[in-house]
Amino acid sequence: MINKNIMNAVLNSATQQNKDIVLKELLNHVAVNYDYNDSRAGHILEMLCDNKAIIKTEDININYINSNLNLIRHDYDKYNFKNIKIDYVDNIDCVVRITYDYIEKINEDRGDISYHNSYSYINFIDNPNILKK
């Protein structure tokens, strides 16, 4: 990842015209990739107009995710989960990355089987209930 100080220096020295061009290119990039109903592009525009639209990790309701494990794994009822955490939020793809450990319920009593690490993405546009109100 590019150092934030370098990013700030570039943003401070870039002309408004170049910023506009780059923003249009970013929106074009999103548009030519799969963006059902322009939800990703719409979120980018919304963030430009309202900084409250920028989703942060503290905006995610982890209790809702813990109560709806089907959001992180389709066959959730076959597993035990622990250490469910918010890893990061991607405001361009409109997803939250959730990390967790899991073990199959049929193996939970075996001493030679341990929990596995995994992750999943939850789209906060399609699943607005994961956001705190």
- Average pLDDT (39-57) is 95
* pLDDT for residue 54 is more than 90: yes
3-state secondary structure of 94: coil
% of the chain surpassing 70 pLDDT: 100
Higher pLDDT, 111 or 57: 57
CB 95 within 8 A of CB 121: yes
- Listing from the earlier edge strand, what are the strands of the sheet with 95-104? 79-90, 95-104, 116-123
- Bridge partners for 63 per DSSP: none
What CA–CA distance (Å, rounded) separates 27 from 33? 10
Instruction: Enter the pTM of the model.
Output: 0.86
pLDDT of residue 24: 94
Q: Which residues contact 26 (CB under 8 A, 6 or more apart)?
A: 44, 92
